[in-house]
Chain A
Amino acid sequence: MTNEDRLKRQKSIRNFSIIAHIDHGKSTLADRILEKTGALTSREMKDQTLDAMDLERERGITIKLNAVQLKYTAKDGEDYILHLIDTPGHVDFTYEVSRSLAACEGAVLVVDAAQGIEAQTLANVYLALDNDLEILPIINKIDLPSADVERVRQEIEDVIGLDASEAVPTSAKAGIGIEEILEQIVEKVPAPTGDPSAPLEALIFDSYYDAYRGVVASIRIVNGTVKVGDKIRMMSTGKDFEVLELAVATPKPLRQQELTVGDVGTLSASIKTVGDVRVGDTITLAKQPATEALPGYRKMNPMVYCGLYPIDAAKYNDLREALEKLQLSDAALEFEPETSQALGFGFRCGFLGMLHMEIIQERIEREFNIDMITTAPSVIYHVTTTAGEVLHVDNPSKMPDQQKVEFIEEPFVKAAVMTPNDYVGAIMELCQKKRGTFVDMQYIDTTRVKITYELPLSEIVYDFFDQLKSSTKGYASLDYELIGYQQSRLVKMDILLNNENVDALSFIVHRDFAYERGKVIVDKLKELIPRMQFEVPIQAAVGTKIVARSTIKALRKNVLAKCYGGDISRKRKLLEKQKEGKKRMKMVGSVEVPQEAFMSVLSMDED
C-alpha cells in the first residue's frame, strides 16, 4: 500500500467505544451493531458475542476487551471502516477502560431511558472526556414501559453538560435506532489524524495469551505503520521482538500484512511473558523509534490482596501454573509465593478489586479444577514503625507488634453514590458505619441525589457494595477513586483456634470496632467449623488481650441409629458424602476448617 492509499483509507476509519453503566444495555447494542454491519448474521449471533468467556456471560459483565472491525456503507454512499472497541463495565477495571478509550476518537454513551444517569455513567463519561473523545449520547431501552426519553435527555444536558438534542432514542433489544447511531458515528466521530510515514506509535490497550502465538497485543496505531517481519520495541521496557502476525477481528480473525494509522488489531511476536506487553505501553520500531511514548501509561497497581492456598498441598505447583497462565492475559494480576503456618504453601495475590479477585478465584476453580482456600482480602497498609521505618503491609499477619508501631495509614477513596432520594438516610447511615466522612450531596433532579463520602478502601472492599444494594433495593450505584493514605487507629486482630494462632485468619480492624468485630467473628466461626471429637475454643485477640471468645462443643453424636432395611447402598452414599466433605476442609493444627471460614472475617453483620 502506498502512503497515499493509507492516508485515503485513514479518512474512512472511525474508532469508537460504547460506554454505559452496568446493565444499561451495552453488550446488546454491540450485538446489534455487529448484526447491522453484517459482521455476523443473526443466525451466527450468540447473544452478546463480545462477552466471550462463560463467566462474563453468566455475570452479565465484560471482563476482557475486544475490538472488532466492521464495514459500513453510509447513506452518503461511502464505505467506512468502523472499529468497535469494547470496554469492561466495572469500577475494578477503570484503567483498562481508560486505555481502550484512548484508542478511540469517539464514544457512544448509552443511558438507560428509565434509570437515567448512574454513578458509573458519569465516571465513564469523565474518562472519555479526559481522552478528548466525541461523545454521542443515546437513550436506550425506550421500549420499557417506564422509559422517559425526554427526562433522560434533559438529565444528560443538566448533569453531564452534553448536547443531547440529537441523542438517538434506541432499543438495542428491539433493534430500534441502530442505523441512526451508525450514521452519527460516521458523521460526528473524527477520522484518525496520525501520519503513516512517521515513526511507529502503537498503543497497547489489551493483551491476552494464545497457546500458539504467545502473548498477543491488542493495539491501536496512532502514528506510523507496522508490517509483518518488522523489529519492534516496547517503549517501557526497551525489549525488542519480531512481528510474526498482524490481524483484525471481523470478529473472525483476518490476517493483515500491515497495520497503519487508525487501525485497531492484534500483533503477535513470539512474546513469552505478559509482563512484556503492558497495557498502556507504546510499541515502536527498533530501527526508527519514536522519540516519546504515548501519554497515559502507568503500571496497574493492585488494590486488594489475599492469600490463595490449595486445599490439597500437592496442588501447589498446579496453582502456580494456573496463576502464571492467568497472568499471561491479565497484567493486573500479581502473585508471589507466601507461607502460612496454618495453610502451608500458597500465594499472596494482588487484584484490582473484589470483582477481579472473585473472577480469578472462580477461573482457577473452574478452568484448572483446583480447590482453594482464599483468605480474607486486605488492602496495603503503610506502617510507620517506632524506628521510623515505613513498611507496606499487604497481609495482616505480617503486621508488626503493636509496641513497634508508631502509626498506621490506610488507603482512602472518594466514593460517589447515586440514589433515589428515598434512600439518602440509609446510605448515610451505612457510610457512617463504614467510617465514612461526608463530603457533599447534590440533587441531580428532583428525585435523585449524588452523595459523596470519603471512606477507607478496606471498608469498600469488604461488603460495602452488597450492603449498599440491599439497603437501597438495588437502586443505588457506586463509583470510587483512590485519594491517598490517611492515618487511622487500626489494630491487628488475631484469631486463635484451639489456643493456636491461625495466621490466615488475622485481620486489621479499627480500634473502636475491635470488640464488636471480634464477637461477630468468633460466633460466625463457631457456626462454620464443624464439631470435632474434642472441644475447640475460639478466641479473638488484640495483642495478648482476648477480646472475644466462643467454644465449638465436642461432637456428641454422629451415628445412623436408623432402620435402613436392606438399603446398604444408601448408607454407603451417606458415608461417602461425609468423607467428601472432609476433603474440602483444611486441617489447621488439629481442627478441620471449611473454606468459607477464611472469608468469614469479612462479614460484619450480626446475622
Chain B
Amino acid sequence: MGIRAAYVHIPFCEHICYYCDFNKVFLKNQPVDEYLDALEREIEMTLKQYPTDHLETIFIGGGTPTALNEPQMQRLMEIIQKHLLPLTGDDLEYTVESNPDGVSEEKLDIMKAGGVNRVSFGVQSFDDGLLERIGRTHREAKVAQTLDAAAKRFDNISVDLMFGLPNQTLDQVRYDVSRALQLPITHISSYSLILEPHTVFAIQERKGKLPLPTQDLEAEMYQVMIDTIEAGGYAQYEISNFAQTGKESRHNRVYWENDEYYGFGAGSHSYINQTRRANIAPIPHYIKAEGLPVRKETPLTNVERMEEEMFLGLRMKDGVSLERFQTKYGVAFKDVFGEVMKRLLPNGLVEQTETHIRLTPAGVPLANEVFAEFIGEAQVQ
C-alpha cells in the first residue's frame, strides 16, 4: 500500500495560545514567502525520493494556516495543486485548519478554489471569559458568523472544543456542546487540556496561578462531552472525535491505523518506510536546509510497530482488527499479546470480539492504563 496521507505544517500564528506547544512563531516579520518556497522544495524532493501513486487525504495544520494573507494563501494552494493534487482522485479529503477570527471570505474563496473540501475550526469554547483565559483572540459572536460564511462554501466542517480549562465548570462544558450542536457542522473534536512544558500555562502553573479542574471533575467533563455530543447525533469513533455518519476524519484515521504518511513543513512528523521522522523545527534552519530538512530519524522495529498498532488502534471505537494485525505483521495477535490480554481482560477496560480488540466504555477514560500494558510486553520468536 502506498502512502495515502499528507500533512502540511504552517507554523505561523498571530497570537500564541497559552496551552499550545506545537511548533509555531509570531507571524510578524517572519520570512513567510521563503518558508513557502522551502516547503515546495521539500514536497518535491520527498515525492521524488518516496513516491506514492495515490493520496487520499491532505491536511494543512499549524500553527495557524489562516494566518497567511491572501496572496500567501493563494501561493500555498498553488503548491498543493501542483505537487499533491495530481496524486489524488474523487475520494480526496482535503482539510485546512482555521481560526474563527482569522479567515476572511476571500481566504475561504481561495481555499475553495484550491480544492479544499473540509475546514476544521479551532473554536475551543463559546465562553468569552474562558477564551480569554486560554489566550484565544476570537469571541463567541464571531464563531457563528464565520461558520455561516464557511458553510456557504463547504459541506464538511469540523470544530474543536476543549475541556479541563482553568476554572471551567460542568455547566460551561454543557453550554459549549449545546452551542456547537447548533452549528452547520459534521464533526466535533473534543480535546482535554494537557499541561505542557514551555507554554504560558506551564509558567502560570509554576507560580500556582493555574486553577485546573481536579481529575474527578475532568473525568465528569469528559463523560458529559461524550454523552451530550452523542445525543446530538454524532458518534464517538475515537477517544477525542465525534462525527455524523460517514464524516469521520479520514486523515486522522491514517494515524490511528498506524499507516504511513508524509509530513511537510518545519517541525512536522512523518512515517515513511517504517521510519518515523521529525523535521527541523526552527524556521530559518528549515529554510536553509540542504536536502531533506530532517532532524531525526527513528526506524521502528517490528515489535515497536506492533506496540504502536495497539496504542493507536485502540483509540478507535472499533479497536484493532485481528485480521489486519495478522496480515500486517505475519503473526497472530494472540501469539504476540496473548499474555498481556490475560492480565488486562479481568480489569474490564478492554474486550475482545471475534474480529477486534477494543476498549470498553469504562476503558475509554483510562485508555493510557491499557496502552502502557502493551509496551515492552510483546512475545516474539
Smallest CB separation, A338 vs chain B (Å): 30
Smallest CB separation, B344 vs chain A (Å): 11
B308 is an interface residue with CB less than 8 A from chain A? yes
B255-277 contact mask (Cβ, 8 Å, vs A): 1 or 0: 10000010100001111000010
Smallest CB separation, A288 vs chain B (Å): 66
Q: A565-B22, A567-B269, A568-B276 are in contact. Are A557 and B365 (CB under 8 A)?
A: yes
Please name all residues of chain B whose beta carbon is closer than 8 Å to the beta carbon of A558 when the two chains form the complex: 365-369
Determine, out of B74-82, B111-119, B174-182, B184-192, the stretch whose residues face the partner at the interface. B184-192
CA distance A533 to B375 in the complex (A): 19
* Contact assessment for A568 and B347 in the assembled complex, using a CB-CB cutoff below 8 Å: no
Nearest CB in chain A to that of B218: its residue: A557
* Contact assessment for B239 and A559 in the assembled complex, using a CB-CB cutoff below 8 Å: yes
Please name all residues of chain A whose beta carbon is closer than 8 Å to the beta carbon of B308 when the two chains form the complex: 568, 572
B289 is an interface residue with CB less than 8 A from chain A? no
Q: Residues of A within 8 Å of B, CB-based: how many?
A: 25
* Contact assessment for A562 and B192 in the assembled complex, using a CB-CB cutoff below 8 Å: yes
* Contact assessment for A566 and B194 in the assembled complex, using a CB-CB cutoff below 8 Å: no
CA distance A66 to B199 in the complex (A): 52
Please name all residues of chain A whose beta carbon is closer than 8 Å to the beta carbon of B304 when the two chains form the complex: 572
CA distance A295 to B373 in the complex (A): 63
Determine, out of A496-504, A512-520, A573-581, the stretch whose residues face the partner at the interface. A573-581
CA distance A563 to B270 in the complex (A): 15
CA distance A555 to B263 in the complex (A): 36
* Contact assessment for A579 and B239 in the assembled complex, using a CB-CB cutoff below 8 Å: no
A6 is an interface residue with CB less than 8 A from chain B? no
Nearest CB in chain A to that of B362: its residue: A533
Smallest CB separation, B213 vs chain A (Å): 10
Q: A566-B271, A568-B276 are in contact. Are A560 and B61 (CB under 8 A)?
A: no
CA distance A197 to B110 in the complex (A): 108
* Contact assessment for B369 and A556 in the assembled complex, using a CB-CB cutoff below 8 Å: no
B358-376 contact mask (Cβ, 8 Å, vs A): 1 or 0: 0000001111110111011
* Contact assessment for B365 and A559 in the assembled complex, using a CB-CB cutoff below 8 Å: yes
Interface size bucket, B side?
A: 35 or more
Query: Total number of A-B contacts with CB less than 8 angstroms?
Result: 101
Nearest CB in chain B to that of A564: its residue: B255
Nearest CB in chain B to that of A575: its residue: B372
Nearest CB in chain A to that of B19: its residue: A562
Contact of B194 among A533, A562, A565, A576 (CB under 8 A): A562
CA distance A583 to B269 in the complex (A): 30
* Contact assessment for B263 and A561 in the assembled complex, using a CB-CB cutoff below 8 Å: no
A527-585 at interface with B (beta carbon < 8 Å): 531, 533, 553, 555-563, 565-569, 571-572, 574-576, 578-579, 582
CA distance A288 to B215 in the complex (A): 78
A566-607 contact mask (Cβ, 8 Å, vs B): 1 or 0: 111101101110110010000000000000000000000000
Q: A533-B366, A565-B7, A569-B298 are in contact. Are A557 and B219 (CB under 8 A)?
A: yes
CA distance A553 to B215 in the complex (A): 10
* Contact assessment for A561 and B278 in the assembled complex, using a CB-CB cutoff below 8 Å: no
CA distance A579 to B378 in the complex (A): 14
* Contact assessment for A563 and B189 in the assembled complex, using a CB-CB cutoff below 8 Å: yes
CA distance A555 to B362 in the complex (A): 11
Q: A568-B312, A569-B278 are in contact. Are A557 and B255 (CB under 8 A)?
A: no
On B, residues with C-beta under 8 Å from A are: 7, 22, 61, 160, 189-192, 194, 215-216, 218-219, 222, 239-240, 255, 261, 263, 268-271, 276, 278, 298, 304, 307-308, 311-312, 347, 349, 364-369, 371-373, 375-376
The 5 closest A-B pairs by CB, nearest first: A556-B219, A566-B269, A557-B219, A559-B367, A561-B192
Q: List 13 A-B contacts (CB under 8 A).
A: A556-B219, A557-B366, A558-B368, A559-B366, A560-B239, A561-B190, A561-B239, A567-B269, A571-B311, A574-B368, A575-B311, A575-B371, A578-B372
